[in-house]
Chains A and B, each alone.
Chain A
Amino acid sequence: MDFNADHFTLFGLPRVFNVDQGILDVRFREAQAQVHPDKFADASDADRRLSMQWATRVNEAYQSLKKPLPRAQYLLHLAGHDVGAENNTAMPVDFLMEQMEWREAVQEARQAGQVDELEDLHFRLRDQIAERYAELGALFDQQADYSAAADLTRRLMFLEKLQHDIDEALVALEDQ
């Protein structure tokens, strides 16, 4: 285990999008079992700090690999294809139109206080997102087409943000 290794190497995993979630979980827990501050509860302050840094590092790596969007972004980063979210916002018109329709639907449901409608949107979007991740896996692991992968990752960033906003709208309605 090398502090400066990339996240995949840290857990001894192959550098692929479709990581084996089970092995990742096990590897993560094995690593934490070695470095977690609880294992150093009666150690000196210096060691506790060090163990905290290691545990922080392991958590960071796990968080980057656990969920598909950060994992895709990280893979692109390792391959030198940064998604460049800020400088590269030009998206195809049809995609943007679709996004606007979704957002209007969310906003209408929110204003009308339709929790059921929002929940329906939530699950529909979840299915769509899952399909695109399947495509993304093929782009990374079979076709090694990083520029197509970067493009799809950017779309997924929009979709995940939309999902987040739907969830926020649900929370806002439920809190009323």
Chain B
Amino acid sequence: MALLQIAEPGQSELPHEHKLAVGIDLGTTNSLVATVRSGMAVVLNDEDGRALLPSVVRYLPEGEVVVGIEAQAQQALDPKNTIVSVKRFMGRGLEDIGHVESAPYDFQVAPGMVRLKTRAGVKSPVEVSADILKVLRARAEAALGGELVGAVITVPAYFDDAQRQATKDAARLAGLNVLRLLNEPTAAAIAYGLDNASEGIYAVYDLGGGTFDISILRLSKGVFEVMATGGDSALGGDDFDQRILCWISETAKLAPLAPKDNRLLLTKAREAKEYLTSHMEAPITAKLTSGELVDLKLTAETFNDITQTLVAKTLQPCKKALRDAGLRPTDVKGVVMVGGATRIPAIQKAVGEFFRQEPLTNLDPDKVVALGAATQANLLAGNRNAGDDWLLLDVIPLSLGLETMGGLTEKVITRNSTIPVARAQEFTTFKDGQTAMAIHVVQGERELVSDCRSLARFELRGIPPMVAGAPRIRVTFQVDADGLLSVTAREQTSGVEASVAVKPSYGLTDDEITGMLQASLDNAKDDAFRRALQEARVEADRLLEATEAALKEDAQLLDASERARVDVALEKLRTLIQGDDRHAINHGMDLLALETNEFAARRMDKSIKRALAGKRVDDVKIGEEE
């Protein structure tokens, strides 16, 4: 409860009320939802008892949306309107997507993110992902018998800002309150860590359908610390399917494939790959639209040959992550395997050789991420038991920087910094009387701006005219606990301040989200829009109440003019709640938050002083670390 919670950290008002929260693994190939029931993380199945929801969305002519196994079954028949592996398009422009030529979709170039033209209209990957999330949300609400307080949604640790933002937007669109975006490997470690009470350095090797992640984690005394991450956001199990598809085409000497045949053979390729995890030879038979019959046998040996470079490609990021963490392979105490593709025997062998130990495979590699996310969701929702109060400290996967003269990148926050993190850098003008300055925010490790991902461009205007070099423009990067970035710029000489907060250009603007919410309201009678307004009102009410209570308790922490400004903001917000403009209400809350920031800081200070009072360095027990 707002400011009150700061006064009493860790204590919730209704300690015994169990809040419904879920963990969602929004995967490239499959998605899952899990929750904690009677202290155990469990995956929620659909009514037919299936845990995995294929991440496949089909748009039907009548406007109906089909998600999952039925959509997957039809993908060969209706490839243009059946979207698979949409996660690869999240927060991505057309130029970023590999295999565009072999994907059967009508891509449309759009600012920031690619769009897909379907018979249900032009769809953003965010909307397609939201359709998957809606199904999982409905499944969870039916199984748990109530509305969800929130969800933890997992993303590959290697996801950049745009991809994270897109994921969060999809959740909003599906009417889910995101408690936290959680890195998939970290979720897996949570699932393993809690079950096995492990301590030490762990590596999480996560080869999913479309992404590869390696994370080096330190687990100790309830703290999960991500030491380093690395990976490849365009490498996954799907690439193994593609290799098999190429092999089929070459071996059977097929002409260029029609989209339907392409889709069909890709399905056959995936089946063969799965079959080879427990057999030495897989039969591949298919009848093409031309009537031509494909009948081949793929041996494990051939499969290993044609996919050898893919396996090797996963080991480079492992080396790099270890070096970032300042470790050698032998320092790693255990290797957790995540993702269906880690069932491939050649991968288990290669990973085992690299880390010089048998990797851990005792949890289902398809479910382990969702289980960990559920555990985290349960904690974040406030369902805490004494003893399982632990903390997760995460890092940012890619460096953030600014474009400087000559198209070079200046790193402001380096990769693997623990988040949340903020860093400010000062710049100045190079022309006399210059009143504006262009700021270009990029993400990546390379020196040239053109080799990095462009996140946002904005202009700081209203700089007072001065001689070149006199203005001091402070650009501040703030990355929050979800790994999302906001940038502000301020000119701070002569008391004049201008500031601008940017959203990454790959994310959707609030207006776009509102538009999509509105559209879904019109189409599917979804009440998400109203719900968002209602949520804003409830939130505003809570903020008002909490602020009033805090003022009553600690009025002495404010002087008269500070108090007057708080009162004005309070009154303004009270008026706004009466209206139905959600953005205005949010703005009013921001304003009140801004005016009470310092007050809250003083209160927090006071309470922390109280909490830490009397504690000395010598009192801290170090335990086995000594």
Q: What residues of chain A have their CB less than 8 Å away from a CB belonging to chain B?
A: 1-3, 12-14, 22-23, 25-27, 29-30, 32-47, 49-56, 59-60, 62-63, 167, 170-171, 174-175
Contacts and interface: CB of A to CB of B under 8 A. Distances in A.
Contacts, number: 136
B1 to A, nearest CB: 7
Contact of B420 (A25, A52, A167, A174): A52
Given A34-B9, A40-B5, A47-B2, A52 B481 contact: yes
A39 B9 contact: yes
B537 to A, nearest CB: 13
Q: Which of B418, B542, B600, B609 is packed against the most chain A CB atoms within 10 Å? A: B418
A38 B392 contact: yes
B319 interface: yes
Contact of A1 (B2, B179, B418, B609): B609
A47 B600 CA distance: 8
A103 to B, nearest CB: 18
B622 to A, nearest CB: 5
A47 B10 CA distance: 13
A44 B9 contact: no
A63 B418 contact: yes
A65 B389 CA distance: 26
A131 B492 CA distance: 43
Given A38-B481, A44-B2, A47-B5, A27 B620 contact: yes
Interface in B124-168: 149-150
Interface of B: 1-3, 5-6, 9-10, 149-150, 179-180, 221, 223, 316, 319-320, 323, 379-382, 389, 391-393, 417-422, 478, 480-481, 539, 542-543, 546, 589-590, 592-593, 596-597, 600-601, 604-605, 608-609, 611-612, 615-617, 620, 622, 625-626
Contacts of B392: 38
Nearest to B417: A63
B420 A175 contact: no
A9 to B, nearest CB: 11
A47 B323 contact: no
Contacts of B3: 44, 46-47
A44 B418 contact: no
Given A41-B180, A47-B5, A167-B323, A52 B391 contact: no
B478 A56 contact: yes
Contacts of A23: 617, 620, 622
A147 B625 CA distance: 34
Contacts of A54: 604
Q: Which of B319, B604, B609 is packed against the most chain A CB atoms within 10 Å? A: B604
Contacts of B622: 22-23, 26
Contacts of A13: 617
A118 to B, nearest CB: 11
Contacts of A14: 617
Contacts of A25: 625
A160 to B, nearest CB: 13
Contacts of B418: 59, 62-63
